[in-house]
Structure formats: C-alpha cells, structure tokens
Chain A
Amino acid sequence: MSTVSVSSVRKNFGRVTAVKDVSFEVFPGEIFGLLGPNGAGKTTTIRMMLDIFEPDGGEISVFNGRIDEAKKKRIGYMPEERGLYKDLQLEQTLVFLGTLKGLAENDAKARLEGWLKRLDLYDHRQKKIQELSKGMQQKAQLIATLLHEPDLIVVDEPFSGLDPVNTRLVKDIIEEQREAGKTIIMSTHQMYQVEALCNRIVLISNGRTVLYGEVSQIKREFSGNAIVLEGQGDFSNVPGVLEARRQNGAWHLALNSSVNPQQVFRHLAQQDGLQIERFEIAEPSLDDIFVRVVQEGKEAEEVRYA
C-alpha cells in the first residue's frame, strides 16, 4: 500500500495555475525523486501533500487518507527555504521542535545527543543558530527532520550548502532511512544524486507530470537518444541535438526524439570541417533525459499557444 498517493491534483493562485495535472504514488522503503525545472510546481505539490495548501482539484492521500494532526507527527519535512530560530540555542531549538512532533522532552534530549555527535555538532549545541555556519545549520535542519523518527520523510534539496564529506554523510543517512523501511521523497536538481539514490522518479514540467516510473526503466526507454563523440571540430551546432556539452575531452549530445543516431552520424560525416574519431551510442544520464523532456515539453507548449 502506498504511503502517499497524488492523483490529478490542480492548484491555482488567482489567475496563475501552478499545478495543472500531477499524479504519482510513493511506497514504503523507497527513495522517490520529485524532479522538475524551477517553477514547475514541485514545491506547490509538496505543500499540497503536506496540507499547507488545499488543492483545487484531484485527490491526495497520505497514510491512506486525508492528512490530520496525528499524521503530521509521522512526517519529517525539510523545506527548500531552510529556517531555524536564529536567536535560540541549537539544542533548545531542536528539543522544542522534537516535542512539537510528539516526543517527551527527555526522549528528545536523549535522541538528540546521538544525532549531534554523529553530525559533528555536539560541541556547538549551546551556540545560537545564527553563530553556526551554513553547512552546520543545514545539518541541524536534517536533525529536526529526523529526530522524531518519521515514517514519511520529505527533503527538498538536501545536499545544498554541504561539502563533499557532509554530502556523503547525508546520503548515507538517507539510505539508512530507506533500509529502515521509511518512505522518502527527495526533490533536487542534482541529477547524479537522483541516479545514485532514487528507485523511482516523477518529472514535473509546467505543472504536469511528464515522466514517471523506475529510474532504470526510464533510462532504458531513452537509450539511443544520446551519443558520445570524440573528434576534431565544433560539434555544438548539430541539427536535432537538444544539448551538447564537453566532458573529459568528449562531446555528449542529447538528441531530439525525432532524430536517431544514424541520421546524426550521416550528417556529421558529410561535414568537411569535422573529423570523427569515436562515435558511441550512450545510455543517457538522467540529466540528459531531464533536459530533453523539459525542452520538448516547452516546444510543445509553444506550438500549442502558437
């Protein structure tokens, strides 16, 4: 049974439609990626899911029904707009937030000690939040999200502001939560993190679900739409290519769905100024898929309004 079920939800703010038609389900024991470009409607969808906004249409079910005060205690939420009480001490703030989530004060203190030690914040527990570095505040926010051991964890850009060591630490913690059977929804623009962590994803663009399913399945479906090239010349302006980028001396080209690698190869072979040394059909990265789906969605939208 799904932990979260979002079905054809819609939300308007005055004349602006933030979410037009978004659907997905999330299950226990998985890390689910909620992806999309800026302004696509991800945050609004999360806020509807958490009962901050009421949807104008569609249905949302959390823990098998409408969200209520008791269910809120089973949720840990780390919003994109981070914030803790700046003029309060770290320990005092986290204990207070833990008690609001239903923990007894002593339990909150006992659990907090372990988290503070693990995240290297124990020596800073008496400091005011405003005295902590951005990375420390980010880790404190993660503790506030997990201290009450929630069943559903919603994290928005969990790695922003973290150095590689702490990124690894947070990644490990998220994976631990999955192994413990928790449901995790992660929204991020860091596609390599999604590839590394997420079982399934939904991609929202312009307020609609444009891609939804298992990461491995999606990558299989999009294979053949990306090529890796090595050679002499400029490969950045090839017809039918959505995005061309250079990486480690090789060109990575994301192809439009209307062209295939053979057509691109033929075109390149006819160009006098270009010399091909390596031509390889690549399994697309999520990054490539993201760019392609979003750009094609934009073009389709422009055609619709033209």
Chain B
Amino acid sequence: MRNFWLLARHEYRKLVSKRSFLVGTLGFPLIIMMVMAAGIFIAIRGDQNTPIGYVDNAGLINTAVVPQTDEDETLLPLRPFPNETAARQALTDQEIQVYFVIPADYRRTLQLDAYYWQDDPSSTVVSDFNAYLRANLASDYPASIRTRLVEGPDLVVRSADGSREFNSRNIFSFFIPFIAAFFFIFVVMSSSGYLLQVVTDEKENRTVEIMITTVSPGQLIGGKALGLLAVSLTQVVIWVLAGVVAVFIGSFFIEALRFISVPWSLLLVVIFFFVPAYAFIAGIMTAIGSAVTELTQAQQIAGILNLLFLLPFFFTALFLANPNSPILVFLTLFPTTSFITVMMRWGMSTVPLWQLALSWLILVGSAMLSVWVAARVFRTGMLRYGQSLSLKEALTAVRSRS
C-alpha cells in the first residue's frame, strides 16, 4: 500500500511542477477574471453618476415618486428638460449621458426614444430609467399591487416531487448542471488523458520492466491513476474557486449573479457516478496505452473514443427541449455517456429512479470489466517494445491465463 501512495505522490508532484500545468491552471482563472471584468465594465461604463435626461411629453414622471431600492443601491439621478433642444444641448455639453423622449401617446404605444452619442447606454442606465418609469406608472395603485407591478412576476417552476426548483430570477442556476458536467468531464478526460500518456511513456522510456518487478501492475496503474486524478481535481478546484470569487465580485455589478443558487442534490450524482466513470475511462486508456508503442498512436485512438464520452454535449438542444426523450434515456443508460447525461438532465427534469439505478449498475459493471481487461492487456502489451498489439493479440491476452 505504501508504494501505491508513493506512486500517486510521485505522479502528482511530477505533473504539478511542470510549467505547462501552471500555465494551464492559472490561465483559465485569468480568462474568467478578464471576462468578468469586461462584463463589469460594460455594466458600469459611462455611468459615473452622470444624470439621465428626459423630455416628458406624456406628463408621466413625477420626480417626487422614487423607486424602492436596496439600502446599498443608488439610482442614477434624473434631470427633466422642457424640450428636445434643451436636452440635446445638455447632451452635447456632456451634462447628461443620454436623454429619453416620452411621447404624448406613450400610454397607448409604450414606445419611447433614447438619444445618445455613439456608445449604447449601459444596462444600468436602461434599468434605472425603467425603474423610474415603472414606479410612476404604478403610483396610482395601492401599495401591494404597486410592489407586484414594479418587481414583476416571480415565476417558480417546481418538480412534482418537490425535489427540483427553477426560479425565473435565478437564470444562471439553470446552467450550473451544464457547467458542472463540463468540469467533471474535463476532470475525467484530462486525468485519463494523462494516464494514457504516462502508460505510453513507461513503455517508451523502458521503465515498465523495473517498475513491475518492484510493484504490482495494480499498484502501478492505480497509484498513477490516483495521482493524475488529484492533478485534475487540483486544477478544477482552483478554477471553481476563481469562478466563485469572480461571481462574488461580479454580483456587486451584475444583478443576475446575485440570485445564483447551487443545486446541492447534484452532489449525489457526482458521489455515485464519478468514481466508476473515472475507473471506466481510465481502464480503457490504460489498455490503449499498453497496446500501442507511441503516444501519438494512442492519442489518435483515444481521440475517437473521447467522442463517445462527449456525445451528450451534441444533444444540448434536446436537453432543453425534451430532457426525457428516448435518445437521452438511452444516453443515460449507456456507460460512456451516463455520467454527463444524468448531470445535464438533473438541471432540466427529474430523472426516474429506475433509470438512475440501472444506469449506475451498468456503469459500475462496465468499469469493472474495463479495469479487468486493462490489467490483462497491460500485462501482455507492456513489454512489447516497438511493436503494437493487434486486436487479435489483445483479445488473446484477455482470454489467456496470465
């Protein structure tokens, strides 16, 4: 058992100390930060507390009516103008960043015009002016109705068993299972990709013969698989933390980010499906790495197989339109696609218990078969220097005694 941990630690240290790991791991959070910074810039740009001008030909806005806001939230100031000429002059003099012209027939047409220089008004400008308009339009109604009208509908869709809920204010939460699915397929595939590389390297470096006279093949592959999994998890943890920090900072500037909630029930899927899914693909990659002689050859075969694991992402539209369609039920049960399909359906629908149970059993069975086959192909293929195993030889190895 000591050697198992030594191998895991060795693989972890070896990869983590590489420059490519640092670039790959820190590059992604940098991109997230840049995207978030761009979003914040777009959200706040041009605001600078410069007032919003308006010409009210409909007699709609009473400056005494102020929309309700959170304690820490302040609206951009409004500045009325008697006519468009005065407003235009103020815009030219940069006293205001935009002015709206509310026509006399606004209540009938619900249309108004906005005037500004070159850049579109920011979302803050639009939402603040909307808030003033709504507050004034609803000012004649009793307080309870006024609040409902101003805040708009709060639509909550809940599954019949109450286990799942979707809130219209919570639009980003809708995508969390998709994002989680992406992250976990990344972990599984990058770890197994590393494993493929490591197994091929052992053969190319001719180190495998020394290793297997020191540790058992199970310890060798198991220890490496664990170390490489830890590498991928380290990457994802750093990325998720960067994402959480970015969302936290962004929530001060982008309203929709404030309502994100994590569907914690998704953790159950991860707990049950992650290990067998990883063992399944790790077994396949070990067998490929053992059977071929060069990494490029191994990557070509693995690349085709990877498509089988990424298949659910090609059906994203179907997940949104009909998450219980027969195709997605099939993908739920099929071992290469079950983990991701279950995660993606989790956000859209309620996956029946029988499908979850059957899918898990098929995945666990496939994982055990994959590891068993990999061990046999590894024993035969690992010492075939400079010569690949043919399919027939691989099948013979699987059927043989040792």
Binding site for B on A (CB under 8 A): 14, 47, 50-54, 56, 69, 72-73, 75, 77, 79, 81-86, 88, 96-97, 99-101, 144
Contact = CB atoms under 8 A, between A and B. Distances in A.
A14 B393 CA distance: 9
B206 A83 contact: yes
A72 B213 contact: yes
Contact of A79 (B7, B209, B216): B209
Contacts of B383: 47, 52, 81
Contacts of A100: 3, 6-7, 211, 214-215
B222 to A, nearest CB: 14
Interface centre among B201, B212, B214 (most CB of A within 10 A): B214
**Interface SS of chain A:** loop
A16 to B, nearest CB: 12
Q: Which 6 A-B pairs have the closest CB atoms?
A: A83-B206, A54-B402, A79-B209, A83-B207, A81-B206, A83-B205
B385 A99 contact: no
Interface of B: 3, 6-7, 10, 14, 201, 205-216, 383, 385, 393, 396, 401-402
18 contacts: A50-B213, A52-B213, A73-B214, A77-B209, A79-B209, A83-B210, A85-B201, A85-B205, A85-B207, A96-B6, A97-B210, A97-B214, A99-B6, A100-B3, A100-B211, A100-B215, A101-B214, A144-B210
A91 to B, nearest CB: 14
B390 to A, nearest CB: 11
B210 A75 contact: no
Q: Is the interface of B mostly helix, strand, loop or mixed?
A: helix
A29 B207 CA distance: 28
Given A54-B401, A54-B402, A100-B3, A86 B209 contact: no
Given A85-B205, A88-B14, A79 B210 contact: yes
A84 B396 contact: no
Nearest to A49: B213
A26 B188 CA distance: 48
Given A83-B208, A97-B214, 12 more contacts: A51-B213, A52-B209, A52-B212, A56-B401, A72-B214, A75-B213, A77-B209, A83-B209, A85-B207, A88-B14, A99-B6, A100-B3
B396 A14 contact: yes
B303 to A, nearest CB: 23
B216 A69 contact: yes
A101 to B, nearest CB: 6
Contacts of A53: 402
A81 B212 CA distance: 14
Contacts of B402: 53-54
A96 B210 contact: no
A97 B385 CA distance: 21
A100 B212 CA distance: 11
Given A82-B206, A84-B207, A96 B10 contact: yes
A173 to B, nearest CB: 18
Nearest to B217: A52
Count chain A CB atoms within 10 A of each CB in B6, B206, B209, B393 and give the residue with the most.
B209
Contacts of B396: 14
A81 B213 contact: no
B3 A81 contact: no
Contact of A84 (B3, B205, B385): B205
